[in-house]
C-alpha cells in the first residue's frame, strides 16, 4: 500500500499540539493561547478556529464559540467536527426546545455523519434530537449506532437503555442497566441502579396489564 504524506505547516503542527493541550484540563489555558497565536498569523486557520471555538464552548462562552465555529466552517466546510460542534453549541443553548434550531442541529449532525460515518458523537446527539422531534424509532437506531462505534462509552449505553424504555422495550433496557450497575463507574452505576428499579417496575406493570387484558 502507498501512503501519501503531506508535510504539515508550522501553523498546522501548532494546531495539532494545541488541540492535544485543549483536551487536557491542566493545559486548557495554554491551548487557548496557542490557538490565538496561530490566528494572529493566519486569522482563518480552520483547525485553530475550531479549537478556540471548542475552548469557548467548554467555558460556556457561547457567543464567542459560535463566532469561531462559523469561521472554521467557512475555512473548511468538510470538517465533521465543526458541524458536530455547531450542533453541540445549539443543544447547549437550548436548541432542543426550538423547532427551527432543532432542524438546523439535525442538518449539521447529518452532515458530520456523512463526512465521517465512524464518528460516534454525532449519532449520540442526533438520537436525542430525533427523540425531541417525536421520532423514537430513528432515535433508537442512532443511539444503537453510537454504542456500536464506541461500545465502552457508559453515557451512550445509559441513554440507549433510556430510549429502550421510551420505546416500551424494558427487557433490552434491563440487560444494559444490569451491566452498568455491575461494571460502571460509581456515578453511572448509581444512576443505572435507580433506572433499573424503574425498568423492572415498568416491566411488571406491562406484564400485569397484559395478564389483566
CA–CA distance from 9 to each of 13, 38, 138, 195 (Å)? 6, 11, 42, 50
Cα–Cα distance for residue pair 49/55, rounded to 1 Å: 10
Would you state the pLDDT for residue 29?
A: 87
Of the candidates 75, 80, 9, 6, the residue with the CA atom closest to the CA atom of residue 46:
75
Q: Are the beta carbons of 59 and 53 closer than 8 angstroms?
A: no
How high is the pLDDT of residue 43? 93
**Per-residue pLDDT tens for 185-212?**
999 999 999 999 999 999 999 999 988 8
pLDDT tens, position by position, 94-151: 988 889 899 999 999 999 999 999 999 999 999 999 999 999 999 999 999 999 999 9
- For residue 213, is pLDDT > 90? no
- Predicted TM-score of the model (pTM): 0.86
- Half-sphere exposure (Cβ direction) of 190: Cα atoms closer than 13 Å: 2
DSSP designation for 81: H
Q: Nearest-5° angle of CA 48, CA 52, CA 54? A: 120
At 1, is the pLDDT very low, low, confident or very high (cuts 50, 70, 90)? very low
At 12-43, the pLDDT tens digits run 656 666 676 677 767 788 989 999 999 999 99
C-alpha 44, offset from chain centre = 25
* CA gap 177, 98 in Å, rounded: 31
Pick 10 or 87 by higher pLDDT: 87
Question: Do 126 and 159 touch, CB atoms closer than 8 A?
Answer: no
Which of 2-6, 182-186, 192-196 comes out lowest in average pLDDT?
2-6
Asked whether the predicted pLDDT for residue 178 surpasses 50, the reply is yes
Distance CA 101, CA 98 (A): 5
pLDDT at 10: 55
Amino acid at each position: 500500500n502507498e501512503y501519501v504524506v503531506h508535510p504539515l505547516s508550522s501553523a498546522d503542527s501548532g494546531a495539532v499540539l494545541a488541540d492535544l493541550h485543549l483536551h487536557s484540563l491542566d493545559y486548557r489555558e495554554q491551548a487557548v493561547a496557542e490557538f490565538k497565536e496561530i490566528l494572529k498569523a493566519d486569522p482563518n486557520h480552520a483547525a485553530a478556529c475550531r479549537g478556540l471555538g471548542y475552548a469557548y464552548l467548554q467555558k460556556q462562552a457561547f457567543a464567542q464559540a459560535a463566532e469561531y465555529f462559523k469561521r472554521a466552517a467557512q475555512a473548511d466546510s468538510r470538517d465533521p467536527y465543526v458541524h458536530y460542534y455547531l450542533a453541540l453549541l445549539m443543544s447547549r443553548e437550548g436548541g432542543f426546545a426550538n423547532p427551527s434550531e432543532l432542524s438546523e442541529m439535525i442538518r449539521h449532525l447529518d452532515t458530520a455523519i456523512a463526512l465521517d460515518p465512524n464518528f460516534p458523537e454525532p449519532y449520540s446527539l442526533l438520537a436525542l434530537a430525533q427523540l425531541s422531534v417525536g421520532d423514537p424509532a430513528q432515535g433508537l437506531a442512532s443511539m444503537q449506532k453510537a454504542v456500536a462505534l464506541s461500545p465502552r462509552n457508559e453515557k451512550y449505553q445509559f441513554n440507549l437503555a433510556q430510549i429502550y424504555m421510551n420505546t416500551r422495550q424494558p427487557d433490552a433496557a434491563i440487560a444494559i442497566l444490569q451491566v452498568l450497575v455491575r461494571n460502571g463507574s460509581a456515578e453511572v452505576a448509581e444512576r443505572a441502579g435507580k433506572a433499573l428499579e424503574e425498568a423492572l417496575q415498568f416491566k411488571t406493570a406491562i406484564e400485569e396489564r397484559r395478564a389483566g387484558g
